[in-house]
Structure 1
Amino acid sequence: MTLALSDIHLRDPFVLPVPAEGKYYLYGTIGETCWKGKPRGFDVYVSTDLTAWEGPHPAFRPDPDFWSDFNYWAPEVHEWQGRYYMFATFKADGRCRGTQTLVADSPLGPFRPLGDGPLTPRDWECLDGTFYVDRHGEPWMVFCHEWVQVQDGEICAVRLSRELDRPVSEPVLLFRASEAPWAEGIRGGANYVTDGPFLYRAGTGELLLLWSSFSDGGYTIGCARQAEGDINGPWVQDAEPLYKRDGGHGMVFCTLQGELRLAIHTPNDSPNERPIFIPVEERDGHLSAFPKEEVM
C-alpha cells in the first residue's frame, strides 16, 4: 500500500537515508499504542522520494519472553560497522524505563535485542537514546534522564562498547532543561521536560544537540552547542528555539539530493500527531528551519 505522510500515525519520526539503495526508511513510535494498549513492536516505512511511502513493514516484533510490555517508544536506526542498530525505549511494571539496542542485517529488520536489557542505569527513569560517534571513533549514547524522577530533566551521555551492547563508562551529565532560556516548566512550573536528543556536527566543527521541551509555543525544539565538538561539554543553549509550533522530537537528515530536512511530529496531541519534514539551512554553525515549506 502506498501512503502519504499524513496517513502515517507516528510520533518521534526518524529517517534513515540509504544512498546505495536510493531509499529512505522511516521509523517511529506507533501512535495507536503510544500511551496505552499492548504495542505490537516497531514498524518501518520505505520511500524513494519522501512523499509516497510503502508499508508498514514489521521491523521488530518481541518474543513472548521479552522483558518489556509497554511504552515502546522512539526507535532510531543507525548503520555501524556494516550492520543496523536500533536504539529504542521500553518499560515494564516494576522496572524503570530505559533504552536498549537491537540489531539487524537490513534496515527492514528483523531487529533482535542486544545485551541483557537497557543501556541506561537500571534505577533511572530514562528514554530517547540516540547514537553518536566521537572524533576518535568511539561510540556513545546520549539520552534523557526523565523529569518524572529528577524534576529538572537531564540530557546525559554514556560511552558504549564497540558491539553497542553495554555501557563502558558511567553516565555524564551534559545539561539540564532549565538551562535553556526558552524552556518553561510544566505542572505548576517546577518540572522541566527533556525529550528527543539528536547530535549534528556543523560545518564549523561545532557539535549541535537538538532536544525538545516546552515553551510558550507548546512542544518545542531547542539547540545546545559545544564549540570544540566535545561530547563532554560545556554546552551552551541557543537563546531562541529552532521550532516552537507545538511540534518536536526532531532529527536532521540529508536527502539523496543533498538537502537538509528536520523530521518532527506535530501537533503534539494524540491522535492528531503526524510526521512532517521541514527544510533546514545551516549557516555559520546555526540551523534555521523553514516551517512554511513543510513537506507533508
Structure 2
Amino acid sequence: MRLPDMPLHDPFVVADDRTRTYHLYTSNDPSVSGVEGTGTMVYRSHDLLDWTRPVVVFRAAEQRGMWATDGGWAPEVHAWGGRYYLFTTLHDEDRPLPLPPPNPWGVPFQVPTYRRGTVTAVSDSLLGPFTVVDPSRPTPPEHLMTLDGTLHVDPSGQPWMVYAHEWLQTIDGTIEAVPLAADLTRTVGDPVFLFKASDAAWISEQIPGGVPNQLPPYVTDGPQLYRTPDGSLLMLWSTYEKDVAGDDGTISGRYVQTWAVSRSGDLTGPWQQHRPLVRDDSGHGMLFHTFDGRLMMILHRPFDNARGKLYEMRLDGHELRVLRQRTDLDGGG
C-alpha cells in the first residue's frame, strides 16, 4: 500500500531503530483492517513509500469495564520504562457533563458536553495488544472535556500528558498539561494552563470589527512537543483559521497546521505563537526523524477522507521551516 490509498486521520509515526521499521498509527478503519470496532491500527514500512496492510493493536470493546467505546482518535505510542504506552481519545455521548459556566465573552454558545478524554494503554510490543491501565476513566480529569493527549518528559524526568481542552466546553479552546506518575498510570497533580487558541492572533485577523457575537469557537487540536538542539521547546498544534464568507457576515474556518515555541524550554512557557506551517485543510501533525537523520512532519489532509502527507523540515535554532512536501512519498495533493 501507498499513502494515497491509506485512509488515516491524526497520524503518528514511531521510527523503530531496532527493526528499521516505521510504524504509522491511526484510528481503526474496518474497511482496510478487516476488524470491526473502535480502536487503533498500525501500518508499517521500511522506506515511507510502501506500507503493509494495517493490523489492529487496540480495541476499546475488548477492555473489561471500559468507560467508553466510541472515538478512538489521535492514537500515539511512546516507549517508556521498557514498555510501550498508547494514548488515544475515547468518548461517550450518553454520559453528559454539567454545562460550563457563562463565558466571559457573552457569546450565546451552549452545546451539550459529554465525557471525552485520552486513555492510557500499555503493551510490551509496538504491535500490541495494548491494555488500558484504568478502564474506569480517562487519564485527564474526567469532568473536563479533553482530547488528543500526548506525552512530554521535562528536563527533570517528570512525565506529563499535554492535551487540548475542548472548545465545546471553553469557547476558547486551551492547551493544558497534567503531571503523570512515573509509570504513566495516573495523574499526580492538577492541570496546568499553557495557552489558549486565541493567543494566535493571526486566527481572526481577517474578521472585521463589530461582529464579536458571531465568532465561532476557537479550536485547539493535536498538540505534539519537540525539544530543539538549542534547548527551546516547540509545540505543533492545529486549529481553524477564520475568515468571513458572504455579505451576511458568516464566518467559516479552514483547518491549519500551526506551531508555537517556548524559548525558555519550559513547558509552562511563555509560548510564542507562529503563523501556520501548512494550510489547505491540513493538520494534526507530528515530527519524527527518518533513519538517515532527516526531520520530517506527517499530517493529514483533507480533514474528511484524510490521507497522510509528508514534509521535509528544517530547524534553524528554534525556527521551524518547511523545506518541501515529499510528493514522491505521499503522492502530492
- Normalization by structure 1: what TM-score? 0.92
Consecutive unaligned residues in structure 2, runs of 5 or more: 96-113, 244-252
Is 115-124 or 168-177 further displaced after alignment?
Answer: 115-124
**Structure-1 separation of matches of 2:51 and 2:271:** 37
Contact 1:15–1:27 (CA<8 Å) still a contact in 2?
yes
Task: Determine if the alignment matches structure 1 residue 24 to structure 2 residue 22.
Answer: yes
What SS class does the counterpart of residue 12 from structure 1 fall into? coil
Q: Partner residue of 1:202?
A: 228
Task: Determine if the alignment matches structure 1 residue 99 to structure 2 residue 118.
Answer: yes
Is 154-163 or 276-285 further displaced after alignment?
Answer: 276-285
Letter in 2 for 1:277: L
Cα distance change, pair 214–291 in 1 and its aligned pair in 2 (3 A) = farther
Q: Partner residue of 1:229?
A: 265
Q: Partner residue of 1:246?
A: 281
What is the CA distance between 1:277 and its match in structure 2? 1.2
Q: Partner residue of 2:52?
A: 54
Contact 1:24–1:47 (CA<8 Å) still a contact in 2?
yes
Q: Partner residue of 1:41?
A: 39
Cα distance change, pair 244–31 in 1 and its aligned pair in 2 (3 A) = farther
Q: Partner residue of 2:12?
A: 14
Query: What do the CA deviations read for 1:22-59 (whole angstroms, capped 9, x no partner)?
Result: 101010124679xxxx7331111111111111121111
RMSD: 2.0
Letter in 2 for 1:150: T
Letter in 1 for 2:45: S
Consecutive unaligned residues in structure 1, runs of 5 or more: none
**Structure-1 separation of matches of 2:234 and 2:284:** 15
Q: Partner residue of 2:132?
A: 113
Q: How many residues of Structure 1 are paired with residues of Structure 2 in the alignment?
A: 287
Letter in 1 for 2:73: W
What is the CA distance between 1:225 and its match in structure 2? 1.1
Q: Partner residue of 2:103?
A: none
Letter in 2 for 1:52: D
Contact 1:132–1:141 (CA<8 Å) still a contact in 2?
yes
**Structure-2 separation of matches of 1:44 and 1:255:** 18
Is 86-95 or 131-140 further displaced after alignment?
Answer: 86-95
- Of structures 1 and 2, the larger Rg is shown by 2
Q: Among the aligned pairs, what percent are the same residue?
A: 42
What SS class does the counterpart of residue 6 from structure 1 fall into? helix
Cα distance change, pair 32–61 in 1 and its aligned pair in 2 (3 A) = closer
Contact 2:27–2:38 (CA<8 Å) still a contact in 1?
no
Q: Partner residue of 1:138?
A: 158
Cα distance change, pair 187–255 in 1 and its aligned pair in 2 (3 A) = farther
Letter in 2 for 1:249: H
**Structure-2 separation of matches of 1:257 and 1:104:** 28
- Normalization by structure 2: what TM-score? 0.82
Q: Partner residue of 2:187?
A: 167
Query: What do the CA deviations read for 1:147-201 (whole angstroms, capped 9, x no partner)?
Result: 0010000000011001111110100000000000222499942410000000011
What SS class does the counterpart of residue 197 from structure 1 fall into? strand
**Structure-2 separation of matches of 1:246 and 1:202:** 27
What is the CA distance between 1:204 and its match in structure 2? 1.3
